[in-house]
Structure 1
Amino acid sequence: MNTRILFPTAAFVMLSVAVFAQVEIPEVKPKADSLQMAVDTLLLEGITITAERPLFSVEGEKTLYQVSDDPTVQGGVASDALQNAPGVSVDVEGNITLRGTSSVEIWINDQPSNLTEENLKAYIQTLPANAIDRIEVITNPSARYATTADGIINIVMNTKIKRNEFFCFGTNVSSQPYVMPWASYVWKNDKWTVNAYANTYWYHGKGEAHSEKDLYGEDEEGNQVLTSHLKSSMFNNYATYSPGVNLNLTYTPDKMNTFSLYAMFWDSFGPSEVRQERERIEYIEQSGEYKYSIENKSNSNYLFLPYGLNYQHKFDEEGHNLTLRMNGSITRSALPIDYHKIYTLPSPYERAFVMDYVSTNIPINARVDYNLPYSKNGEFGMGINAGWEGKNECSPLDSLANGVYVHDSVMSYRFRQVDHHLGGYFQVRHRFGNFTVQPTLSLRYYRTGIVYPDAPNYDSTAYYFYPLPSLHLSYHTQSMHNFKLSYSMRIQNPYAEQLSPFIKFDEESYATGNPKLKQVFTHNIEASWTKYWDDFGSVGLTGYYKGKQNEINKITDAAYHEHYGRVVSFNWPVNVGRSYNAGGEFNMMYRPNGMFNLRFYANLYESYIKTDDALESSEMLCYSFRLNLWTKLWDRLEVHASAYYNSPTQTLFWKKGANYSVDCGMRADFFDHKLSVFVNGYDLFGLLKQDTYIDSPTVTVSETSRYNSSCVCAGFTLRFGNIELENEAQNGGEAAGQ
């Protein structure tokens, strides 16, 4: 199948006005016994020995960057400090990535920030760098963090925001066309914080796709033969409208207690029209040539309502604390479709139906975490979590017969899936001089069940109970050599819909589950060495092994089915057997000062897959590299450029081609950061494309997706208001809960 997807050239402008302003830091004289200095001085028989805290170090699963000890960034803002944290990149718009991925959570003082994207950008581009004690980078979070992100960046303050108030508004405009006006408001005093954000956008899109696909089956003598060939062209035209509101409230009655609440409303709806032209040749059953067109109209609606409550109590300032969290969401998707298939060959005929798809998903989760330092060199943490998730999906379909729409029980379906999970963890971290040991053990119970009211024979329920151990070891020297060795095990459970053999029929194919699915066991081993220099940067080497047993892949296969009376393609999940990625990473960061860095990252690994029956196996050498340049000139002009290349990758019967791109941008600050102007260019040479290949015993597919991803973005930001900062007593020390 050869596919080509075309999109219009994208160029958009962002104009924004933010109301907040210069930073005023009042002079505070902390008590001598409450101030922990960055440089410890020891008097011994008249000799003064000074031991400086390393600028970069590794402790357990964390890589630490001591911002307060880096004089080169003290005149900058938080985004300048983040640029110098290992593995972290910030583009000129304020978007943050960690080791090349945007799947990263930003925490502030050991708590999720829950800031919206625009407010987070405003925060890091305004907060003074000298208000930050350190930045902690966690690339492989342990069970205690309860996050689905690939990494966490924790910003630990040596000051607290005493009072601020700012208002932001702006508009994003694109030639697609795309328009998004937005507004943001933040108010804070010493006890309350209010963070509100609202936006709406309108988008109109057009696209087309062209494809070919071959299916294979067996003839009467058992020989594999070509059974059908399909060629199609698709054209679509759609519009989307999406209003949204986000609200965050935080109440801190005193230094020992914090309450927070967040809630969001986001709706997306709009019409869509799709037209397809298809030609199909059948060589075995129903042999002949078929030509037909497909036209369908829909008006989709997607509603998302997440919410959360958090409470933290500190028993002291040394890390003894208790945290309670509860979060959930309500998601509803609706997609009514009016479908018409009009045949011209072998004879005129019209097939029509109406479908009213509705899906509702309601997850609720609760979590308790407790941390207790048992000495100045160690602490233990423990926690429990529980969750419930209910999903209802209904897709009634009525087919046109003799001018009347009649319910089609074969093409219709409905089900309810309910999942429960319960877990707990225990973690110890202890420092033996420069050596840190951090073992974690998590125990989890998971139950998944599905009910089909109209087909109870397909109901399915499964139970799982399993441990998840992990171990992180780290060692650092005074000369800033850092060593890390870690092991973790993760288990992926198949969910009930994957386990049920219920068949969902489509016009040209179907999908089903697999009752024989097993748990997926993943073993991660990583060893790394990193050397840091204050006046150069860092060089690092990492070796890793990520092995999976029973990895679940969604396989495209083909077989004869009586509903269609011919060979058709179908999708189903299978355990592919044993697979692993084993290789190494090299990274280098050159930073002669805090306002310039050049980064190079390379990854080389072997990808191996082998089925349990040993009939199928595949081996591929994969690699990627990324080059980033960032500099800040004259304390006001930022310049950023990046390029990346990812080689082909694979799963069983499926390969993805290489992709690559070059981006650049710049931003300038004026009037003491009250005015910022930026311009960005993405995929400068129009290189971005994606090739996909499927080569299974019964299906061959060749697909190319390409669009004009070249994009120019420009905008400005104005800031007015006031942020007052108050120094904490624990300046330069480690925050509670580390």
Structure 2
Amino acid sequence: MPTVKPKKKVREGDTFQVVGVLRDAKTNEFLPFVNLAVLDSVDNEFVKGGVSNMDGVFEIYGVPQGAFVLRVSAIGYESYSLPFNVTNNTNLGTLRLNPGVTSLGEVTVSAERPLYAMEGEKLIYNVSEDPSIQTGTTEDALQNAPGVEVDVEGNITLRGVSSVEIWVNDKPSKLTEENLKTYLQTLPANAIARIETITNPSAKYATDAEAVINIVTSAHIKSNQFISFGVNGSNQPFVSPWVSYMWKKEKLSVNLFASGRYSNRLNTTDSWELKRENAATEGLYDSVWYKTTSQKEDNRSISGNVFMNIDYEIDSTSDISFDGGGFYNNNRNNGSRREVQTFYLQPVDSILAYSMGDTTVSQSGFGHFGADYTKKFDDKGHNLRIGLNGRFNRNASDYYNNRFYDVYTDFDENRYLLSNQKGYGINLDARYNRPYSEDGELSYGLRVDNQLDNSDYKRFYSKDGGITYDSIDVLRTYHFNGNETGVNGDVNWTHRWGGFTLSTGMGIGGDRIGYNYQSDMPFADDSTLYFFNVRPSIHLTYRTESMHNWKLNYSMRMSHPGEDQISTFRRYGDDSYSTGNPFGLKNAYTHNVEAGWQKFFERFGNIGLEAYGRWSTNEISRLTDAEYDDYLDRIVSYSMPYNMGTSWRYGTSLNMTYRPTGFFNVRLYANLYDYGYRMEYDRNGVHQIDQRDKWSWSVRVNAWAKLFNQLQVTASANYNSPTISLMSERKARYFLNMGMRSDFFNRRLSVFVNVQDIFNWGARIGSGSSNTNPYYLSDSTRKMLNSRYISAGFTLRFGKLELEQRAKEGDSETGDSLE
């Protein structure tokens, strides 16, 4: 029986401990891991929560004086409510729950969850439990997920790996790269329940990516309605208004969410490129060509998105949901550039210098719709889920470019590029889960996906100084049609022995890729390819009574090249081109192994350690080089994919949360790893071998505190050391942010102020990368001139505030919910 601290003299504002024991009313057995919630007796507003331990004992801290109701929820038991009063530390004694069937219409209550948790192959970041990120965007929330990094361009890596697939509510997002960046920058973090990072995906994910990030939006509520809206802005500048509405009655619920954003960013880039060839003396090189570039950009963007979700409960065993939405982005980029090219080893060295100006006006849109049907055959996990989802996207841009030479003025150019990309897709997902006992289940999945792409690229140049553009640039004009169909199936087996859980899976699939590049140039290409893949996986976890969590995972991923890596069609830029490998690329194989430990403490927080390794063969990556091009009649850079040979990445990571009180926490994530590769390829008929490895590390610290029961203060610091990839190196990146937030009028109004990049490192130091190919060296540094900025915003709320976190976009099969 738990003990309660001796009574003390009560002062206003004191909080107390509520304890007790849970038992089965028939067997008298202790009931472990049962959710409990302390609710206000007047309006049922959530106050505190807890979970019973292995001995059925629960201890709930921080309960103020007053009248409350203890609500207890356990699967297979009738719901239990107990009114009680708190004037001091309180012992509720032994509470006995009666076995019974829990219907979907009854109330289940979620207790407070740790910020980070381990669940099989997933490492979970509970965004809804993190007060320090609620005023940010989904992109900001991703920065706090263990191992995730988002650079200034919005590119996402997970533990240094860029091959990451983004899922939303347990389904692949299928967003294009730029559309995905817009989505993450406009969706508020307080619309997110949690972010799941899967660094070693099992067969059921049916993905070619090396890692998966699943963003689960906040779930729905039982009844009533709630509306909130707000405006965020900064002196960067950017401004982002948003509104959220939730309505539910009986079996029908509707979620609506809409937001907009205007932003303006100023960037500078300084870079150089150098082409070399072997000299007469072995091991030395002669310089052939050198180019320097200085560039400024002014980027302005207006975007908005809207989402809707409708849920309908057909009966107590089945429900159906419909979702739809999309976003629109209008972007204008004005740039100016100065380039100087030097050509060596000619009769005399020659210099070509010119200035460039360009304007790009682009519009992009993405829409999606879907329907999901779930049938539950019993309350033990026997169910079927079928989903049908469609999507479409359009990206159109007008690009004006001029080039003025210092000496050779006859070569002055005025160009116009018109691009129009369209994509359509539809996919069918089905998953059948069938428990064969209380300790095990089998899961069967099927996914059929089809994607159509239709793109036009038309480039014109002017003969009258940019007044009219009526002469077509045949080299850079083409039309593309793509058709990709994939069919993937998987079988997964899970069994539990006490604290052990073993999951094994096997996925098998096939892909058909058809493409057609239409062009008047001789390198037009048309082909259809077929690929087969298998994905075995095994995951073992162990959980002790004292909340130690252990895991050991292995998976093998087999991936095939994409059409842009295979096709010999050349996609030309101003002074470069990219193409596929005409000599054939092999399938790549990646083996992943992980071992981890996570420990949760009642008062301290949590600490976790992971060791991981990845070994890849035939890995496909692009190599950048330079050569004389017959069509451009000068030396240009080009990129081509190769099976680079072998690469490896092994390291260890630490994540820790220190939470001595409910009003202060510090989070630390650190990662140390070695990445290396050995590449063999032929260059100009000569066999080349390049091998390199480098140790890299990163550390991120976040702190949150609540002062005077009113003011919340946050701080975050991040450092990423230089890292390498195939013949390239990325420079170090770091920042320090701080912010404050306060709530007024019973949380009807919230106001926040944040300062990003306090020391303005993004403008003074910037970020960049360098190419280390001995025949083609390059280096670039990119700086955001308005990297340091102040942002502020407010939120107004109407409705029952305890329902706020559920009044967001969508729901998912695994989402948190108050049914």
1:484 maps to what in 2? Answer: 551
- Per-residue displacement from partner, 1:92-112 (whole Å, max 9, x unpaired)? 34253421537798988x899
Q: Secondary structure of the residue that 2:592 maps to in structure 1?
A: strand
Q: Secondary structure of the residue that 2:148 maps to in structure 1?
A: coil
- Per-residue displacement from partner, 1:411-464 (whole Å, max 9, x unpaired)? 212221111100011111111111111111111111212112336862233211
C-alpha separation between the residues in 2 aligned to 1:177 and 1:136?
Answer: 32
Q: Secondary structure of the residue that 2:694 maps to in structure 1?
A: strand
1:453 maps onto 2:518 in alignment: yes
Question: Superposition pairs for residues 13-28 of structure 1, below 5 Å?
Answer: none
C-alpha separation between the residues in 2 aligned to 1:213 and 1:637?
Answer: 51
2:799 maps to what in 1? Answer: 721
Match of 1:388 among 427, 431, 450: 450
Q: Is the 8 A contact 1:218 1:224 kept in 2?
A: yes
Given the superposition, is the C-alpha separation of residues 517 and 107 from structure 1 closer, same or farther in structure 2, using an over 3 Å criterion? closer
1:248 maps to what in 2? Answer: 309
C-alpha separation between the residues in 2 aligned to 1:306 and 1:150?
Answer: 20
What is the CA distance between 1:502 and its match in structure 2?
Answer: 1.0
1:534 maps to what in 2? Answer: 602
C-alpha separation between the residues in 1 aligned to 2:197 and 2:274?
Answer: 48
Deviates more, 1:142-151 or 1:259-268: 142-151
What is the CA distance between 1:683 and its match in structure 2?
Answer: 2.1
Could you tell me which amino acid in structure 2 is paired with residue 171 of structure 1?
Answer: V
What is the CA distance between 1:649 and its match in structure 2?
Answer: 0.9
C-alpha separation between the residues in 1 aligned to 2:629 and 2:554?
Answer: 46
C-alpha separation between the residues in 2 aligned to 1:597 and 1:78?
Answer: 21
Given the superposition, is the C-alpha separation of residues 637 and 118 from structure 1 closer, same or farther in structure 2, using an over 3 Å criterion? farther
C-alpha separation between the residues in 2 aligned to 1:344 and 1:234?
Answer: 17
2:487 maps to what in 1? Answer: 422
Given the superposition, is the C-alpha separation of residues 218 and 379 from structure 1 closer, same or farther in structure 2, using an over 3 Å criterion? same
Report 1 or 2 for greater relative contact order, CA contacts < 8 Å, sequence distance ≥ 6.
Answer: 1
- List runs of 5+ in structure 1 lacking aligned partners: 1-36, 56-65, 126-133, 726-733
Match of 2:395 among 306, 328, 333: 333
Match of 1:606 among 674, 678, 686: 674
1:435 maps onto 2:500 in alignment: yes
Could you tell me which amino acid in structure 1 is paired with residue 782 of structure 2?
Answer: S
Could you tell me which amino acid in structure 2 is paired with residue 174 of structure 1?
Answer: S
Given the superposition, is the C-alpha separation of residues 345 and 409 from structure 1 closer, same or farther in structure 2, using an over 3 Å criterion? same
Question: Superposition pairs for residues 77-156 of structure 1, below 5 Å?
Answer: 81=113, 83=115, 85=117, 88=125, 90=130, 92-94=132-134, 95=136, 96=141, 97-101=144-148, 121-122=189-190, 140-144=200-204, 150-152=212-214
What is the CA distance between 1:322 and its match in structure 2?
Answer: 0.8
C-alpha separation between the residues in 1 aligned to 2:248 and 2:628?
Answer: 65
Given the superposition, is the C-alpha separation of residues 285 and 185 from structure 1 closer, same or farther in structure 2, using an over 3 Å criterion? farther
What is the CA distance between 1:528 and its match in structure 2?
Answer: 1.5
What is the CA distance between 1:609 and its match in structure 2?
Answer: 0.7
C-alpha separation between the residues in 2 aligned to 1:338 and 1:360?
Answer: 21
What is the CA distance between 1:720 and its match in structure 2?
Answer: 1.7
C-alpha separation between the residues in 2 aligned to 1:113 and 1:252?
Answer: 25
C-alpha separation between the residues in 1 aligned to 2:63 and 2:618?
Answer: 51
1:186 maps onto 2:253 in alignment: no
- Per-residue displacement from partner, 1:142-198 (whole Å, max 9, x unpaired)? 3435687734477999xx822121222222323233233333322122322222223
- Per-residue displacement from partner, 1:506-561 (whole Å, max 9, x unpaired)? 22111111142222211110112233332333333221111111222222101122
Given the superposition, is the C-alpha separation of residues 238 and 657 from structure 1 closer, same or farther in structure 2, using an over 3 Å criterion? closer
- Per-residue displacement from partner, 1:352-388 (whole Å, max 9, x unpaired)? 3332111112222110011111111111111100101
Percent identical among aligned pairs is 32
1:61 maps to what in 2? Answer: none
C-alpha separation between the residues in 1 aligned to 2:260 and 2:630?
Answer: 48
Q: Is the 8 A contact 2:598 2:606 kept in 1?
A: yes
1:522 maps to what in 2? Answer: 590
C-alpha separation between the residues in 2 aligned to 1:333 and 1:208?
Answer: 25
Q: Is the 8 A contact 2:397 2:418 kept in 1?
A: yes
1:13 maps to what in 2? Answer: none
What is the CA distance between 1:138 and its match in structure 2?
Answer: 6.2
Q: Is the 8 A contact 2:648 2:677 kept in 1?
A: yes
Deviates more, 1:477-486 or 1:421-430: 477-486
C-alpha separation between the residues in 2 aligned to 1:144 and 1:398?
Answer: 47
- Per-residue displacement from partner, 1:215-271 (whole Å, max 9, x unpaired)? 224689998421222223323344333243322222223232222222223222244
Deviates more, 1:402-411 or 1:381-390: 402-411
Q: Secondary structure of the residue that 2:204 maps to in structure 1?
A: helix
Given the superposition, is the C-alpha separation of residues 211 and 722 from structure 1 closer, same or farther in structure 2, using an over 3 Å criterion? same
Given the superposition, is the C-alpha separation of residues 208 and 630 from structure 1 closer, same or farther in structure 2, using an over 3 Å criterion? closer
Match of 1:500 among 535, 550, 567: 567
1:60 maps to what in 2? Answer: none
C-alpha separation between the residues in 1 aligned to 2:449 and 2:637?
Answer: 37
1:710 maps to what in 2? Answer: 788
What is the CA distance between 1:124 and its match in structure 2?
Answer: 7.2
Match of 2:289 among 228, 247, 256: 228
What is the CA distance between 1:469 and its match in structure 2?
Answer: 0.8
Question: Superposition pairs for residues 165-204 of structure 1, below 5 Å?
Answer: 165-204=225-264
1:71 maps to what in 2? Answer: 60
1:361 maps onto 2:423 in alignment: yes
* TM-score under structure 2 length normalisation: 0.74
Match of 2:438 among 355, 376, 384: 376
Q: Secondary structure of the residue that 1:161 maps to in structure 2?
A: coil
Could you tell me which amino acid in structure 2 is paired with residue 645 of structure 1?
Answer: Y
What is the CA distance between 1:655 and its match in structure 2?
Answer: 0.5
RMSD across aligned positions (CA): 3.8
Q: Is the 8 A contact 1:119 1:184 kept in 2?
A: no
Given the superposition, is the C-alpha separation of residues 111 and 332 from structure 1 closer, same or farther in structure 2, using an over 3 Å criterion? closer
Match of 2:529 among 462, 470, 481: 462
1:290 maps onto 2:352 in alignment: yes
Match of 1:557 among 618, 622, 625: 625
Could you tell me which amino acid in structure 1 is paired with residue 234 of structure 2?
Answer: S
- Per-residue displacement from partner, 1:650-698 (whole Å, max 9, x unpaired)? 1121011222222232333344332323222322222343131112122
What is the CA distance between 1:310 and its match in structure 2?
Answer: 1.3
Given the superposition, is the C-alpha separation of residues 162 and 536 from structure 1 closer, same or farther in structure 2, using an over 3 Å criterion? same
Q: Secondary structure of the residue that 2:689 maps to in structure 1?
A: coil
C-alpha separation between the residues in 1 aligned to 2:26 and 2:318?
Answer: 39
2:758 maps to what in 1? Answer: 684
Given the superposition, is the C-alpha separation of residues 80 and 643 from structure 1 closer, same or farther in structure 2, using an over 3 Å criterion? farther
Question: Superposition pairs for residues 276-355 of structure 1, below 5 Å?
Answer: 276-284=337-345, 288-355=350-417
Given the superposition, is the C-alpha separation of residues 498 and 193 from structure 1 closer, same or farther in structure 2, using an over 3 Å criterion? same
1:273 maps to what in 2? Answer: 334
1:731 maps to what in 2? Answer: none
Question: Superposition pairs for residues 604-643 of structure 1, below 5 Å?
Answer: 604-612=672-680, 615-633=689-707, 636-643=710-717
Given the superposition, is the C-alpha separation of residues 252 and 373 from structure 1 closer, same or farther in structure 2, using an over 3 Å criterion? same
C-alpha separation between the residues in 1 aligned to 2:565 and 2:191?
Answer: 42
Q: Is the 8 A contact 1:319 1:735 kept in 2?
A: no
What is the CA distance between 1:620 and its match in structure 2?
Answer: 0.7
- Per-residue displacement from partner, 1:104-131 (whole Å, max 9, x unpaired)? 98988x8999999988755679xxxxxx
2:649 maps to what in 1? Answer: 581
C-alpha separation between the residues in 1 aligned to 2:591 and 2:680?
Answer: 18
Given the superposition, is the C-alpha separation of residues 176 and 121 from structure 1 closer, same or farther in structure 2, using an over 3 Å criterion? closer
Question: Superposition pairs for residues 648-687 of structure 1, below 5 Å?
Answer: 648-687=722-761
Q: Is the 8 A contact 1:342 1:348 kept in 2?
A: no
C-alpha separation between the residues in 1 aligned to 2:549 and 2:790?
Answer: 41
Given the superposition, is the C-alpha separation of residues 497 and 537 from structure 1 closer, same or farther in structure 2, using an over 3 Å criterion? same
What is the CA distance between 1:483 and its match in structure 2?
Answer: 1.7
1:33 maps to what in 2? Answer: none
What is the CA distance between 1:79 and its match in structure 2?
Answer: 11
Q: Is the 8 A contact 2:230 2:793 kept in 1?
A: no
Q: Secondary structure of the residue that 2:631 maps to in structure 1?
A: coil
Q: Is the 8 A contact 1:314 1:322 kept in 2?
A: yes
Q: Is the 8 A contact 1:167 1:184 kept in 2?
A: yes
What is the CA distance between 1:348 and its match in structure 2?
Answer: 4.1
C-alpha separation between the residues in 2 aligned to 1:628 and 1:260?
Answer: 37
Q: How many pairs are equivalent?
A: 669
